[in-house]
Amino acid sequence: MASSASIPPLDKISLVGGWVETALWGISSVVFMGVCWVIFLKTDSKTNRWMLGTTSIVLYILATVHISATLRQLLEAFILVPQPPQPLFATLYFSNETSPLALLKNVIYTTVVFMQNLIVIWRFYIVWGRNWRLTMIPLVIEFSRAGVAYAGTIILARPGIDIFGSTLRDLGLISWSLDITVNVTVTSAIAGRLWYMGRKLSIASSSDTRIQSTYGTAMVTMIESGALYAAVTVVLLGLYVSDSPATLVAIDDATQIAVLVPMLIIVRVGLGLTHGLPRAYRSYVEGQAERPVSFSMGPLRFPHRRKPTNFGGQISVNREVVTTDLSKNLADDLGMSDFKGTSEDPEDRSVKSSDPLTSHVRVW
């Protein structure tokens, strides 16, 4: 029998990890309520409502089942202890990865990561003009990664398997390495495409007023969210490589973060909680001079009116705001329709351009 000194304090590690996971689930619950409001209750939510809504609901249900299993484990390890109590019962309890609750949590983690990566790939598909040929590359990598991850989960459920053994180590390294690769490359491709389209839109604008593009705001949001999950995966990989006993507990916390990241993108974009947006609106409003302009960001409107100078006649100066059908469709698909600048001028005319990114330019 191994001495107590050779057994890691899994009871303390699991207790702390359970508290952290509970806090993360609480944050996810608040964000999930924001997602439901943005997707289902906002009157201007249109495109892909059911796609984003269904995936968010499924992810939140999985996160809730996962935290429920964690709390049940804490009860069985510390409260529902068989009498007489066995020495180091809680530590030995959490070291058993073949129990039904442990197996359930491992399956949920693998499924949540799989769904989270599919959502990122779906956004890649939307941003890159629904080009399914390009989308097949990350899809093949992700399905391969998921197959390796599920194989490792099945092997881990066998009695007597060492989590840091050679077989599981190889599968874990492959799975987490591919996970990082998919997230970093796909997120970078999305950000690069948004930067390119935002630049083309800025060049196509004939207005002297400089507006921070919706694409730039969405690009920063995607990079921040992708970096958050990638950092968590790197931490998991580092813990596993160092044979840390906190690896499995960190997986529990990573499950909640994997659920939180895609929902956080929806809420941040839908509510305008993105970097630089208030400053962009303020700069644009301050630059207007001769006409009433209002900006719509969800249900809030920020009007700005200045009285035009009277030179003895009626002079009306129109500022041009450039948008494209492509940008409008992209905004609807990613839930960014609230970021459109609108004016009160009822006239709407079209200007043709040879650039496919700037065709059907609308001028208000």
Domains and CATH numbers, the chain: 4-271 (1.20.1070), 292-363 (no CATH)
Tokens of 293: 């302009």
For 237-266, b/e burial (b = at least 16 CB within 10 A) is bebbeeebbbbbbbbbbbbbbbbbbbbbbb
Q: Which of 344, 324, 335, 261 is nearest to 297 (CA)?
A: 335
Q: Cα 152 to chain center, whole Å?
A: 25
For residue 249, what are the contacts with CB-CB under 8 A and spacing of at least 6? 10, 13, 14, 16, 17
Pair 92, 1: CB distance under 8 Å: no
User: What does pTM read for this prediction?
Assistant: 0.74
Write the single-letter amino acid at 103: L
CA–CA gap between residue 347 and residue 344 (Å, rounded): 9
Q: What are the helix (H) ranges across the chain?
A: 10-36, 49-78, 89-94, 100-127, 132-156, 166-204, 214-241, 247-271, 277-287, 325-333
**Angle formed by the axes of helices 166-204 and 325-333, nearest 10°:** 140
- Indicate the SS3 state at residue 273: coil
Residue position matching structure tokens 């709390």: 71
Tokens of 74: 């804490």
Return per-residue pLDDT of the chain as tens, 364 residues: 444 556 788 899 999 999 999 999 999 999 999 999 888 887 555 556 778 889 999 999 999 999 999 999 999 999 988 888 788 899 999 988 889 999 999 999 999 999 999 999 999 998 898 999 999 999 999 999 999 999 999 999 888 888 888 889 999 999 999 999 999 999 999 989 888 887 777 776 655 344 445 666 777 888 888 888 999 999 999 999 998 888 989 999 999 999 999 999 888 877 765 554 444 433 433 444 344 444 344 444 444 444 444 444 444 444 444 444 444 444 454 544 433 333 334 344 333 433 333 333 332 2
Predicted confidence at residue 298, as pLDDT, reads 41
Predicted confidence at residue 214, as pLDDT, reads 62
Residue position matching structure tokens 């001079």: 289
Tokens of 276: 């630089």
CA–CA gap between residue 97 and residue 105 (Å, rounded): 10
